[in-house]
Amino acid sequence: MTTTDVAAQVAADELTLNELGYQRELARGFKTFDNFAISATIINVLAGVFSAFGFGMLAGGPRVLIFGWIAVSVLVLAVGAAMAEIASAYPTSGALYYASARLAKRNKAAWSWYTGWLNFAGQIGGTAATDFAAATFLQAWISMQWPSYTATLHKTVLIAAGLLVLHGLLNTFAVRTVGTINRISVWWLLGGVMIIAATLAFAPSHHQPLNYAGAFVNNTGFRNGLYGGLLGLLVTSWTYTGFDGSFHMSEETQGAATSAPKGITQSIRFSAIFGLVLVLALVYASQNWKTESSASVPPAQILVDAVGLTGAKLLLLFPVVALLFCGLANMTSNSRQIWAFSRDGAIPGSGLWHRLSPRTRTPVAAVWLAAGCAVVLTIPGWWNNTAFTAIVSVNVVGLFTAYGIPILLRLRLGDEFQAGPWNLGAKGRPIALLAVVWILLSNILFMLPQSSPITAHDFNYAPIALAVVLAIATVWWFVSARRTFHGPRSTITPEQAVIDPDLM
């Protein structure tokens, strides 16, 4: 696009944002590929598959890992497409909570409030979980390189906290670099998957037979195979979180009404294809499923058994670096949601969190709130990894519930929904219905016991953690917020409804 075309596009975006009630404050430096890149980086198939693969080896085995990946990818694409249609209609940084307010027929502020807080909790959990996983895999690599090194919970927490600070610094002082890193990360994901898959296809002396894809394993401790297999679907569900990042970056994206929806759907398609390639490579390169599934980091053990220690160390660098990219993108998206929620007065100290850096026109204060809250979430991991995992499980349940609320409201609105330029036409309502059904089912699965016998150490605390988040939001709503929070509030005045040339 020429400079004139870009200026015209930004002017059109400005007009759309004004019609939604906001004066533009953020600089629109993201193009369509950049918007796609942030969601693809947050979904991050290298990080998701490697961090959850071990659980899938126990819950369903090859059959659920492969065919479950295909089925859940289709279902998540339905969720993404339904969200994309809404993003096209309301391309704002507030994203889900803004859409809930606009789509609700009654109690608009309450719908917006709960959507926003579920989104906030889910994103904080995702930021913390990603850097905690990065710390875990980084230590696994260090242990392979230097066998005398001993990984501990304390070290994991300290490394995770350090990574969160690093990502906060990058989002503060190297904003343009962050955009470049997000673009690089897509090629890193693509290259990493293909190199790992090619190596696992040609290097091992032995591969599993073709019919191994139908092998079923249930080592969850539950006798019911169907239940064990359903739990295995969580591997794919865990991977597909964070594609709302494209929605949250709307106010920084050129042509947001079409670029953001494309970013959402294309990032899911990209992840579906390359995630399946990676899953197939790991399954067929497995040398001893039983012993590898019981290793501390199962996919790392598959690499060691398949290509040897030196090759495994080189290949494991791809998911380690991918996790670092993912954590950075998570924090970027997280800070935009905080900034937008603060713009509408929904967070204590909103005036502070809504401030923009005069140098970069980015929400630096919101970045550090995201980093600080994520550090707090990692602290329970100092004593108990299970407690930490329970807290960050709110990442998936919180995010997908926040995804589901505006989609459900769009269904209830029926023909009154005014679609944007990117829309599903007559397919919109059935796809939205499928999305809501899958969100409900997957949320139930995430809150059910995931291993037996059920002990204090193995108990799934996700329902308790989610209940705590909802209880806090509910108490706060009835004590104060229902009188002070009225949903998204317009920042437009007649004098302000012009384009600021400094933001061009």
333 contact partners, CB below 8 Å, separation of at least 6? 38, 42, 123, 242, 244, 245, 248, 249
DSSP 151-173: --HHHHHHHHHHHHHHHHHHHHH
Per-residue pLDDT of the chain (504 residues; tens, 9 = 90+): 566 666 677 678 788 888 888 887 777 778 888 899 989 988 989 988 998 899 899 999 999 999 999 999 999 999 999 999 999 999 998 889 999 999 999 999 999 999 999 988 888 888 888 898 899 889 988 988 898 888 888 898 999 999 999 999 998 887 778 878 888 999 999 999 999 999 999 999 899 999 999 999 999 888 898 998 998 898 888 889 889 889 988 888 889 999 999 999 999 999 999 999 999 999 999 999 999 998 888 999 999 999 999 999 999 999 999 999 989 988 988 898 898 888 888 888 888 888 888 887 788 899 999 999 999 888 877 877 665 666 667 778 888 999 999 999 999 998 899 999 999 999 999 999 999 999 999 888 888 887 777 776 667 777 877 788 888 889 989 988 888 888 887 777 655 544 443 333
Three-class SS of 221-281: CCCCHHHHHHHHCHHHHHHCCCCCHHHHCHHHECCHHHHHHHHHHHHHHHHHHHHHHHHHH
Helix axes 364-378, 385-392, angle to 10 degrees: 140
pLDDT of residue 86: 96
Give CA–CA dist 374/387, Å, rounded.
Answer: 15
pLDDT of residue 503: 34
Q: What are residue 169's phi and psi, to 5 degrees? A: -65, -40
CA angle centred on 426, ends 422 and 429, rounded to 5°:
90
Helix axes 462-476, 385-392, angle to 10 degrees: 50
pLDDT of residue 456: 67
Enter the tokens of residue 217.
């394993």
DSSP 419-460: --SS--GGGHHHHHHHHHHHHHHHHHHHHS--SSS--TTT--
pLDDT of residue 497: 46
pLDDT of residue 406: 96
pLDDT of residue 319: 92
CA 421 and chain centroid, separation: 25
Q: How many CB atoms lie within 10 A of CB 253?
A: 28
Give CA–CA dist 256/242, Å, rounded.
Answer: 18
Alpha helices in 344-487 (DSSP H): 350-353, 364-378, 385-392, 394-413, 428-447, 462-476, 482-484
pLDDT of residue 82: 97
pLDDT of residue 388: 61
Where on the phi/psi map is residue 242: left (φ > 0), alpha (ψ -120 to 50), or beta?
left
pLDDT of residue 499: 42
Q: Given the structure tokens 């437009």, which residue do they identify?
A: 492
- Comparing CA positions, the residue from 11, 5, 4 lying closest to residue 501 is 11
